[in-house]
Amino acid sequence: MSEKPTVQRQYRDRLFKFIFGNPENKEWTLSLYNAINGSNHTDPNEIQLKTIEDILYMGMKNDVSFLINDVFSFYEHQSTINLNLPLRFFLYAGKAYQRYVEENNTFLYSIKRQKIPTPKCVCFYNGAAETDDRTVLRLSDAFGNNIEPDIDVRVTMININYGHNRELLDACKPLKEYAWIGDTVRAVRKSNPKDENSLENAIDTALKEMPDDFVIKRFLLANQAEVKAMFLTEYDEEKTLQLLAKEYKEEGRAEGRAEGILETLARLVDRGIITPEQAAREAGLAVPEFEAKVKGVEGKTGESRLSDDNRET
């Protein structure tokens, strides 16, 4: 394989997307598709990446979306088990299909049936919680009655932790190597629980100890700063979302709880995870009121949460 150029742009994406949703690495995306579907496509140029880059939709982004052979694949990586994945895939896929219709001039009012790609929704899981090799999550499981639904979404969650789905990992070398990195980082951190910089040190150790025959090694080392930043951002994002969930569940002092939620929402905005409008809606406030209250909390803590870029409405 020829040497790949260094990616010269600022990344706030997940490592999974950096590897499998990158135009430079379409052969890895194709390898993953073939492993999942039991196919044998050989031309990476068949992959048409369709990940929506220019929006933060409903507070989230899909990791990798692409078209090949009239199949619309939606792939996402998760380190936590999220039972709301079908709803998230449903909302994002709707937006992606809307763009597909616009780009292909699909005439929705024609009496002739308009052909569209078949959707396939897959979540790759490598968290610490134990789960089956494969779990099927359905949108209909969230419906609050026994009425048969006219719309449903099915997401296949695949456990890519070592010891699970070995045939799949063997069939896609980049996926197996990606799983190895996550497993190694977790193991190194676990062996040094008192190390304040355990995450950063674990990332450095994983990149250093990565076997030379890994096909993704050269690419990751050429972009080591971005890779490390993505690891840290993903971990911080996970902690922040967990804190937000905890704030909503906890009972107690109303004022302190409200301030905690505001700080958490402001942190999510600052990291680009949600928009100021979404944060304000979550807090039950208009955007100016939300920003004013955040400033009030900042005045008490002495810490600025909202960046200038995210203050624009």
For residues 281-291, give the mean pLDDT.
80
Task: Determine phi and psi for 154, rounding to 5 degrees.
Answer: -120, 130
Sign of CA dihedral 25, 30, 32, 33: positive
CB 184 within 8 A of CB 209: yes
- Residue 171, pLDDT above cutoff 70: yes
pLDDT mean over 78-97? 90
Indicate if the pLDDT at residue 68 is higher than 90. Answer: yes
The model's confidence at residue 30, banded by pLDDT at 50, 70 and 90, is very high
* Residue linked to tokens 């359905």: 138
Confidence of residue 158 (pLDDT cuts 50, 70, 90): very high
Alpha helical stretches, state H, the chain: 15-20, 26-37, 85-103, 166-171, 173-191, 198-209, 217-222, 224-249, 254-270, 276-283, 287-301
Return the minimum-mean-pLDDT range out of 88-92, 172-176, 204-208, 249-253: 249-253
pTM: 0.74
Integer Cα distance of 32 and 166 in angstroms:
14
- The pLDDT assigned to 222 comes to 93
Q: Is 71 left (phi over 0), alpha (psi -120 to 50) or beta?
A: beta
Phi, psi values for residue 108, rounded to 5°: -70, -20
Q: Count of CB atoms within 10 A of residue 94's CB?
A: 11
